[in-house]
Amino acid sequence: MSKKVGRKTNPPSPLSHPDILTNILSFADKSTLARCLCVSWSFHEIAAPVLYEDITVVPNEADAIFRGASMGPMIFSDGSDRELKKELLRHVKRLRIKRHGQCDGFSGRTACTRWRGVGIEFPALEVLSDYSSTSGHDFSLDHWGGCPWIPNLKHSKLVMRDVNVLSACKGCSFIPYTLPPEITKVVVTLRTLRNLHESNESYIESTKPTYPSTLSPTLKIVIVLWCATPDQVWDSTHAPMPMSSFDNLVEQLALCASIGLQDIVICNASRIRIMNIDASRSQQYLEDAVKEMVEGICKSRREVKKSEQRMAALRWMDFEQYLVDEESRGEYSDEEIRPWLN
């Protein structure tokens, strides 16, 4: 009896399971992903969203990222036409802007002006992280210095990185004046805090304060007193914190609370260390001091009935609790939050 020889079958292509391939590519580095784009159009369609999901831009140094976006459609050998660069940028969900301070508005000499001119947009953008911070910020000007590009980007979350001012003669000074209406949440990372007691003192005592008219009451603010790991204290350069620094923190938090937003989350208050105060009582000591000041501000402004509402808007939690309980996707890199989740 003759033996039948079975037909040899080829192993299934990885493209037959794009969901599995996407998961595998999520662990690849950027150079590997870039090579995958050149394998075939099918690989291109799977690898492109992974490669361009999260990008970092340094204005005036990153024209290469956008090179080709102004060329229009390219005709390929198969007769198809594609705007490759703009198609790739449509996958961006998280955008980090670093060292934006060089932008000089509409003068036409900066990358931001050129990018706006060719219509660089990110239709899938969810989170914009601004690393320019307010460290050298003139509070009489718009935070982005009249930039023609960044304020027009559409996204739902704004992350302000390494800010050192919360309130300078008004609540939430770190928020750009031209905050797009699509933004529902602003996260601010605070490593240290400038002492603005002299400028804030008269404003706190004012009976006719100026409230920011452009902020929606439903806007959510998250203030993270940043520590790289759970065993660190906040602002280790001033630990334990002298009472002058503590009073400055209280004032700026109270001014943020006084503008009438419905949800303000403060993370890592338990990681401050106050001079002559037991470490286990640090958060409660801060909460009580902020409550007392908010009540005093509301009383001086004849808004006593609103003080309870202002305090109810404040929520205090540790950073690891925030990462688990709140929607924080894309606000911090995996490397930054890994120590908090292990």
In a domain, 118, yes or no: no
Q: Looking at residue 135, what is its pLDDT? A: 45
In a domain, 107, yes or no: no
Beta strands in 145-257 (DSSP E): 157-163, 185-190, 220-225
The answer on 45 and 189 residing in a single domain is no
Q: Residue 247, Cα to own-chain centre: how many angstroms? A: 27
pLDDT of 207 strictly over 90: no
Q: Looking at residue 138, what is its pLDDT? A: 45
The DSSP output letter for 143 is T
For the residues 284-303, what does the mean pLDDT come to?
89
In a domain, 129, yes or no: no
Q: Looking at residue 298, what is its pLDDT? A: 85
Confidence class for position 95, pLDDT limits 50, 70, 90: very high
In a domain, 126, yes or no: no
In a domain, 70, yes or no: no
Mean pLDDT of the chain: 82
Look at 227 and 20; give whichever has higher pLDDT: 227
pLDDT of 302 strictly over 70: yes
In a domain, 93, yes or no: no
Domain region containing 164: 156-342
Among 25, 51, 77, residue at a domain's last position: 51
Tens of pLDDT, residues 239-261: 789 999 999 999 999 999 888 88
Most confident range (mean pLDDT) of 60-69, 159-168, 174-183, 265-274 is: 265-274
Confidence class for position 292, pLDDT limits 50, 70, 90: very high
The answer on 319 and 178 residing in a single domain is yes
The answer on 321 and 197 residing in a single domain is yes
Q: How far apart are CA 319 and CA 185, in angstroms?
A: 16
In a domain, 258, yes or no: yes
For 97, phi then psi, to 5°, come to -105, 125
Q: Looking at residue 149, what is its pLDDT? A: 84
Count of domains observed in the chain: 2
The answer on 342 and 221 residing in a single domain is yes
Amino acid code (one letter) for 212: P
The answer on 47 and 160 residing in a single domain is no
Tens of pLDDT, residues 109-139: 677 877 877 778 889 999 999 886 544 444 4
Confidence class for position 269, pLDDT limits 50, 70, 90: very high
Contact 103, 145 (CB under 8 A): yes
The answer on 162 and 21 residing in a single domain is no
Q: What percent of the chain has pLDDT over 90?
A: 36
- Helix intervals (H) in the chain: 18-25, 30-36, 41-51, 63-66, 84-89, 111-117, 197-205, 243-257, 282-300, 304-312, 319-325, 334-341
In a domain, 131, yes or no: no
Look at 141 and 95; give whichever has higher pLDDT: 95
Q: What pTM value is reported for the model? A: 0.85
Confidence class for position 211, pLDDT limits 50, 70, 90: low
pLDDT of 78 strictly over 60: no
Q: What percent of the chain has pLDDT over 70?
A: 81
